Amino acid sequence: MTTTTAAKRSDFMVRAGSAIILFAIAGTALWFGGLAFGLLLLVGGALMLVEWFALVRAMTLSSGAKLLLNIIGPVLALGAMAGLWFIRDQLGMTAALWVFGMVWATDIGAYFAGRAFGGARLAPTISPSKTWSGLIGGMIAALIASATIGDRAGIIGVPLWIGLFMGLLAQLGDLAQSWMKRRAGVKDSGKLIPGHGGLFDRVDGILPVALLLGALAYAGQLSVGTAG
């Protein structure tokens, strides 16, 4: 085994181990809901904001632009946390999985579609690896996740094809974070998660999706026909 191959295998094992631990923690809190899920959201939101503020400090922007971003960060984080908690508490676990599932499906679909079809770059000056085919693949994957998990959760009040829009919104969140990191001159938002970077790197797509769907649920525009 060459040194390069051994290094890649070691990196994969670190990434896989971190992913398993994160999934176990998040899955357990999501299963129990209530206080457990609320505490997870509060801790996660606080850690993400630490990374957000550090990125803003390092970015080459005017003081006014930095002030605006320092206002947007807490609003986005608190809105997303409140949205996720409300959906889990009021609509059930499967409804919360519907939200997460669309974002996870977006990431997976975008990755494989981009690898398989390649093509024109989506935003080469912000994130050179992202392609238009990946954008479309992510949206289609989110649509499939919305239809399948949403049906299981008994989601009513919004069309299940909203997954297309959520897939787009999740990728816009990813692009926005990539822009912040590029302006800050860093590869990752932090070093909290071995092999993955910062927590903000992992939740950039879920933030706008959870904020919007949580607002819809709170306004009574999103509900479930049966308990999730």
List residues bridging with 139 in a β-sheet.
none
pTM equals 0.89
CB 29 within 8 Å of CB 39:
yes
For tokens 């069309």, the residue is 159
Q: What angle do CA 118, 122, 123 make, to 5 degrees?
A: 135
Mean pLDDT, the chain cut into blocks of 10 residues (228 residues total)? 58 76 88 94 95 95 95 96 95 93 93 89 88 94 92 78 92 95 92 83 94 92 68
| Residue 205 dihedral angles phi and psi, to the nearest 5° | -80, -30
Q: What is the pLDDT of residue 178?
A: 94
Sign of torsion over alpha carbons 19, 21, 24, 26: negative
